[in-house]
Amino acid sequence: MDTATSKQGLGDIMKQSAIPNSTIPSIGLGTFGLNGDAGTKAILAGMDIGYRHIDTAQTYDTEKNVGDAIAQTPIARDDLFITTKITAENFPRLMDSLRDSLANMQVKQADLTLIHWPAPYDEVPVSAYIGELARAQDEGLTRLIGVSNFTRKHLDEVNAEIGEGRIATNQIECHAYLQNKILAQHCKDADIKITAYMPLGRGKLIDDPVIVDIAGKHSATPAQIALAFLLHRDCIIIPKSSNLERQRSNLAAGDVTLDTGDMVRIDELEKGERLVDPEWGPTWD
């Protein structure tokens, strides 16, 4: 994050209109668990305080919540960035399932559509479904396409099937305790942005003594420091919260400027602690 961005604040940037077609806002609102009326209200509250990037998925059961929030907010559709994810069970009907998602979200087009996970146990090859995702983009169902939880091997298979430059982001678990440096470098080399889910390590990072110490130095919260670390690494972050003050605090992480010493100290917290590791998942890098 450059000096000009940190001085202006990512929160202010995201309140600006007309999000460029190629831009994914750096701070998004995750919606996993934001179900029911309370979930819709939390999403609306997030939009009201400045979130413009909203992240959902077919398996979260929050696409309708996002749709209701979009229908109720006075914010113009073009000023919102809506991401959803295709679940593996829908690979055989990928485009139809995306049309269902668009109906649930009450939009004509998604801004970003991801493959949520590679097929369980890799029983279905990437080549069997990634072309359909590219076709969804070609037919205008989504502006950008990407993947989630893909390894270097999977990304190479994507590029071999649909060509380089099609994938906008790889959404992966990423936080100070699991920095995924090998995969992150591979993505950087391929001009694929990293979107970090679970950026606070399920809340573990807010109690880390190093994070707490740096937070005191900057008059910030520990959560803001953990999030700012990822932003400084040029990651997109999608923290989830139903609490308005935590939503506001997370958004303000874009205004925190860490120095080189801070970054080194946080970097040294790496311990390969993976929190999301289903038995059917990929062999991680």
Residues annotated as catalytic are: 60
Integer Cα distance of 235 and 40 in angstroms? 26
Alpha-carbon distance values, 263 to 100, 236, 259, 260 (Å):
43, 17, 6, 5
Tokens linked to 24: 């994914």
Alpha-carbon distance values, 49 to 28, 75, 227 (Å):
12, 11, 18
Integer Cα distance of 163 and 84 in angstroms? 22
Tokens linked to 18: 């007309």
Integer Cα distance of 176 and 271 in angstroms? 8
Residue 118 DSSP code: P
**Rg of the chain in Å (alpha carbons):** 18
Beta strand spans in the chain (E): 28-30, 53-55, 81-86, 110-115, 142-148, 167-173, 193-197, 236-237
Alpha-carbon distance values, 217 to 210, 256, 258 (Å):
11, 11, 10
Integer Cα distance of 95 and 93 in angstroms? 6
Alpha-carbon distance values, 9 to 27, 157, 226, 228, 254 (Å):
11, 37, 16, 11, 5
Residue 229 DSSP code: H
